[in-house]
């Protein structure tokens, strides 16, 4: 029987020759992830269910990234609980202040996820790792607790949507514009509990960072996961990071897809998602035909767009420029390694000279946590992944989702602007 990429990974990890859409399976896990918000809930469930050992201390990751350095007493207590748990069970992959990063940037950087692996995390953007040809998805904290103890998890096998990618991106257009374009096209429930599978000759023109961004936001279309075909770009990325054996899965030629979309990268323009849904998208030409949209803040970072290529794009646009007097600029490199690279490459000087603040890695403002919470009536252009009501602060604030290029250009003009 023919299967998609996702179905093949699930079948293999369930010890089955094949699976079909809607089938319930129990599958072996390669990595279980939680953070400083979801970790304590998982730990409480782990304890209350009487578990007293991990299935594998090397295959559990706890990353303190949402409210660190701790912003208040509650966040301090949450991180303390995770630290205590990590020490008790000698968890290999525990990352705290000083060596942490935003989880979905950190795990690929460290080689903790690989092609063909099955990863669950108590964070919806765990789907990021599909960029490397893995099946990865967000689950509840109770599922993570069971996964930490047993190394297994239940899944309902999803159907899939195929995206045939062709063409090449234009200047200042990136993976963020691609995924915003797709979500605008199919809607926030357009891939509900389906696998979004990306393939076609055009993927050779998408960098790993583009793919990580696209897979990261698959959940914003309601998808169970987003996954790319493994190719030479994938292999080049992992070659110095992963020494264990990996396996690439490819869809059968006659695999069944609910829908097939052809995406020509050359036709995609800088795209912005307006409040209050990621599907509420407009391209830059449409925006420039509108009245000016003034902004108060720009955030460049997050698990979606905090990688070195994102920092480079922003730095190139901000070089020698000053932020608009009414705009606060917040730059958040996604990991400590990227933070140091920004320093050595001169990006940090460019950001500070332009009038930005540069933060230690944190999810911070993305979820309205800290490092850039919005007041009533304020608007922000952010490279984050969600713009729901109150997402970045007050319920009367507005978040516009965009690429680092659009965010940087907008910071200079004080309004949503084209980077070209």
Q: Identify whether residues 253 and 283 lie together within a single domain.
A: no
Measured distance between the N- and C-terminal CA atoms of the chain, rounded to whole angstroms: 49
Query: Is the pLDDT score of 285 beyond 90?
Result: yes
Backbone φ and ψ for 62, nearest 5 degrees, come out as: -120, 120
Strand 159-166 and strand 152-156: the pairing is unpaired
Residue with tokens 């090449």: 168
Tell me, what CATH number does 351's domain have?
Answer: 3.30.499.10
DSSP state of 133: T
Q: Which of 241, 265, 289 is the last residue of a domain?
A: 265
> DSSP secondary structure string, 63-99?
E--SSTTT-SHHHHHHHHHHHHHHHHTT-SEEE-TTT
pLDDT in tens, 117-141: 999 999 999 999 999 999 999 999 9
105-136-34 Cα angle (round to 5): 60
pLDDT in tens, 332-383: 999 999 999 999 999 999 999 999 999 999 999 999 999 999 999 999 999 9
pLDDT at residue 1, rounded to an integer: 76
Q: Identify whether residues 321 and 260 lie together within a single domain.
A: no
Could you give the CA distance from residue 289 to residue 373 in angstroms, rounded to a whole number? 30
pLDDT at residue 420, rounded to an integer: 86
Q: Identify whether residues 299 and 227 lie together within a single domain.
A: no
Q: What percent of the chain has pLDDT over 90?
A: 99
Q: Identify whether residues 309 and 353 lie together within a single domain.
A: yes
Dihedral sign for Cα atoms in the order 230, 303, 217, 170: negative
Q: Identify whether residues 337 and 225 lie together within a single domain.
A: no
Residue 231 belongs to a domain: yes
DSSP state of 375: P
Task: Tell me the pLDDT band of 305, cut-offs 50, 70 and 90.
Answer: very high
Please state whether the predicted TM-score (pTM) of the whole model is above 0.85.
Answer: yes
Query: Is the pLDDT score of 93 beyond 90?
Result: yes
Could you give the CA distance from residue 276 to residue 229 in angstroms, rounded to a whole number? 32
pLDDT in tens, 176-200: 999 999 999 999 999 999 999 999 9
Residue 115 contacts residue 237 (beta carbons within 8 Å): no
Residue 325 contacts residue 294 (beta carbons within 8 Å): no
pLDDT at residue 266, rounded to an integer: 97
> Distance from CA of residue 295 to its chain's centroid?
24
Residue 203 belongs to a domain: yes
Residue 420 belongs to a domain: no
Q: Identify whether residues 340 and 357 lie together within a single domain.
A: yes
Q: Identify whether residues 243 and 158 lie together within a single domain.
A: yes
pLDDT in tens, 213-229: 999 999 999 999 999 99
Strand 281-283 and strand 271-273: the pairing is antiparallel
Q: What domain count does the chain have?
A: 2
Give the E-state strand segments of 92-144 in sequence order. Answer: 93-95, 118-121, 135-138
Q: Identify whether residues 209 and 130 lie together within a single domain.
A: yes
Q: Identify whether residues 62 and 206 lie together within a single domain.
A: yes
DSSP state of 101: B
Q: Identify whether residues 356 and 208 lie together within a single domain.
A: no
Q: Identify whether residues 202 and 282 lie together within a single domain.
A: no
pLDDT at residue 68, rounded to an integer: 84
The domain of 90 spans 5-265
Q: Identify whether residues 144 and 251 lie together within a single domain.
A: yes
Residue 418 belongs to a domain: no
Question: Mean pLDDT score of the chain, rounded to an integer?
Answer: 96
């Amino acid at each position: 029987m023919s299967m998609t990429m996702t179905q093949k990974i699930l079948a293999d990890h369930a010890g089955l020759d094949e699976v079909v859409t809607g089938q319930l399976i129990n599958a072996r896990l390669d990595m279980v992830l939680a953070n400083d918000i979801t970790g304590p809930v998982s730990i409480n469930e782990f304890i209350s269910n009487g578990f007293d050992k991990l299935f594998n201390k090397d295959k559990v990751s706890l990353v303190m990234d949402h409210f660190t350095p701790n912003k208040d007493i509650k966040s301090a207590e949450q991180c303390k609980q995770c630290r205590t748990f990590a020490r008790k069970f000698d968890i290999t992959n525990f990352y705290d202040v000083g060596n942490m990063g935003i989880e979905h940037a950190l795990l690929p950087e460290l080689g903790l996820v690989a092609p063909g692996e099955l990863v669950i995390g108590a964070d919806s953007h765990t789907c990021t790792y599909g960029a490397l040809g893995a099946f990865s998805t967000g689950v509840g904290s109770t599922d993570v607790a069971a996964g930490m103890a047993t190394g297994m998890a239940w899944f309902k096998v999803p159907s899939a949507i195929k995206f045939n990618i062709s063409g090449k991106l234009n200047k200042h257009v990136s993976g963020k514009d691609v995924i915003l374009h797709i979500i605008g096209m199919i809607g926030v429930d357009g891939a509900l509990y389906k696998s979004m599978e990306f393939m076609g000759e055009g993927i050779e023109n998408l960098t790993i960072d583009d793919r990580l961004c696209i897979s990261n936001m698959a959940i914003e279309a309601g998808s169970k996961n987003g996954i790319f075909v493994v190719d030479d770009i994938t292999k080049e990325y992992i070659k110095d990071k992963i020494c264990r054996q990996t396996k690439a899965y490819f869809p059968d030629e006659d695999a069944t897809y609910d829908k097939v979309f052809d995406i020509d990268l050359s036709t995609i323009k800088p795209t912005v998602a307006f409040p209050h849904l990621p599907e509420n998208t407009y391209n830059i030409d449409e925006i420039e035909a509108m009245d000016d949209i003034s902004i108060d803040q720009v955030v460049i970072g997050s698990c979606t767009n905090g990688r070195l290529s994102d920092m480079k794009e922003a730095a190139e646009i901000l070089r020698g420029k000053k932020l608009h007097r009414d705009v606060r600029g917040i730059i958040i490199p996604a990991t400590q390694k990227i933070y140091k690279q920004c320093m050595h490459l001169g990006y940090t000087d460019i950001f500070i000279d332009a009038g930005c603040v540069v933060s230690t890695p944190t999810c911070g403002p993305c979820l309205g946590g800290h490092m850039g919470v919005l007041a009533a009536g304020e608007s922000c252009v952010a490279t984050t992944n969600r713009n729901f009501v109150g997402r970045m602060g007050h319920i009367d604030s507005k978040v516009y989702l965009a690429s680092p290029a659009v965010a940087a250009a907008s910071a200079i003009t004080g309004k949503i602007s084209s980077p070209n």
